[in-house]
Structure 1
Amino acid sequence: MKQSYLFLADGFEEIEALTTVDVMRRAGMPVVTVSITSSAMVTGAHQVAVKADALIADVDLGHAEWLICPGGMPGASNLAACEPLNQALKAQAQAGGKVAAICASPAVVLGPLGLLEGREAVCYPGMEAGMKGARVEYSKPVAIDGNIITGNGPSAANPFALAIVAHSVGEDVARRVAEGMLLYEGHYEFYF
């Protein structure tokens, strides 16, 4: 399986970033955290400092399984200002590759790039104006439209990450990972 990349910018939402990485790794998916700054140390929106696995300048994003943008503010705005990330996201989507974003990032990062045009998507409530051309879904925390997955906020971190797992390695693996985290079908709603 190809490497996936989750991008960290100062002000990222810790729950969304770390839950996604944790769930993917539990599923055996190779995922690298990437700082978009010149430092591996990145500070989240709630002052949790995280050391990224790599710097964006040092990774080849051209052959990724997933490119993933957590939300948080000003983290999503910082991601949107990163031109190498913007170029990678556009190239990935244009090639039919997999892109995921949660919370503010669907509206602040993906929407302005035109990546949600004509797609069902979700974002943090109140940020819908940035969802350029998207069919915004309000009734669920996660939307899957082709190879793009979006989540609406911190409470959607688990179902968002499990949807990524199900999309890549199958629903059986996603259910096994969920059960290992005590998220049982019938007591927990899956969105894949």
Structure 2
Amino acid sequence: MAKVYVFLAEGFEDVEALIPIDVLRRGGVNVTTVSISEFPLVQSSHGVNIEADIIFEQGDYDDADLLMLPGGMPGASNLYAHAGVREAVKAQFAAGKKVGAICAAPGVVLAPLGILNGKKATCYPGFEKALAEGGATYTADLVTVDGNVTTAEGPAAAFPYAYELLTQLVDKQTADQIAEGMRFKHLMEK
């Protein structure tokens, strides 16, 4: 079973974290939510309190198939400010394993770490300059996959992003079945 860690920082964007968590769990992926503060309770950018499964110091991220970074502000900035998150993401990328980031996180976290250098990526509009400064080519797509890095634009991309990650971690058939069960495919047919 694939293993995913989702880093939650104060001010994370609700749907960019919770939709992928939900979709991946429905698809049988082992998802662990990680608070990067000293407490499990993390408040989203819209005031929703989420109790993470663990705090950062309790995790060993070497077994991760995917490390996932939700966007939102100041959530993405708080992720980048955490030295442990920066080191875990760099190690994951260096090992050739999957990294996912959505909204502000590609520009605020991945680009300054050098992870997007020479890659295609997308982000929330307004963070394109950070991608360019990090050596990335901005696609403006909802979801962009380049090697072991998957980036997504923002809240509206949360479902396509989640299904893409599920396809990578399990298979397309499972992702399509989950999308059908959640009526996402029906939405796209209209």
2:14 maps to 1:24:
no
Q: 1:92 corresponds to which letter in structure 2?
A: Q
Residue 187 of structure 1 deviates from its aligned partner by 2.6
Q: 1:109 corresponds to which letter in structure 2?
A: V
User: Using the alignment, how far apart are the partners of 2:37 and 2:3 within structure 1?
Assistant: 20
Residue 188 of structure 1 deviates from its aligned partner by 5.2
SS at match of 1:112: coil
Q: TM-score, normalised by structure 2?
A: 0.96
Q: 2:181 corresponds to which letter in structure 1?
A: G
Residue 21 of structure 1 deviates from its aligned partner by 0.2
Q: CA RMSD in A?
A: 1.3
User: Using the alignment, how far apart are the partners of 2:27 and 2:2 within structure 1?
Assistant: 14
| Alpha-carbon contact 2:7-2:69 (below 8 Å) kept | yes
User: Using the alignment, how far apart are the partners of 2:189 and 2:163 within structure 1?
Assistant: 12
User: Using the alignment, how far apart are the partners of 1:2 and 1:158 within structure 2?
Assistant: 19
Q: 2:52 corresponds to which letter in structure 1?
A: A
Residue 28 of structure 1 deviates from its aligned partner by 0.4
2:56 maps to 1:56:
yes
Q: 1:183 corresponds to which letter in structure 2?
A: F
Partner of 2:70: 70
2:166 maps to 1:165:
yes
Unaligned ranges ≥5, structure 1: none
2:131 maps to 1:128:
no
Query: Structure 1 pair 166/185, CA: closer, same or farther in 2 (3 Å)?
Result: farther
User: Using the alignment, how far apart are the partners of 1:12 and 1:126 within structure 2?
Assistant: 17
**1:22-76 deviation per Cα after TM superposition (whole angstroms, max 9, x unaligned):** 0000100000000000000000000000000000000001120110000000000
User: Using the alignment, how far apart are the partners of 1:29 and 1:46 within structure 2?
Assistant: 27
Partner of 1:142: 143
Unaligned ranges ≥5, structure 2: none
- Give the percent of matched residue pairs that are identical in Structure 1 and Structure 2: 46
User: Using the alignment, how far apart are the partners of 2:111 and 2:66 within structure 1?
Assistant: 17
SS at match of 2:111: helix
The equivalences for 1:83-122 within 5 A come to 83-122=83-122
Q: TM-score, normalised by structure 1?
A: 0.95
> Would you say how many aligned residue pairs link Structure 1 and Structure 2?
188
Residue 184 of structure 1 deviates from its aligned partner by 1.5
Partner of 1:177: 178
User: Using the alignment, how far apart are the partners of 1:37 and 1:167 within structure 2?
Assistant: 29
Residue 113 of structure 1 deviates from its aligned partner by 0.1
Residue 3 of structure 1 deviates from its aligned partner by 1.9
Q: 2:138 corresponds to which letter in structure 1?
A: V
SS at match of 1:42: strand
Residue 185 of structure 1 deviates from its aligned partner by 6.8
User: Using the alignment, how far apart are the partners of 1:182 and 1:67 within structure 2?
Assistant: 27
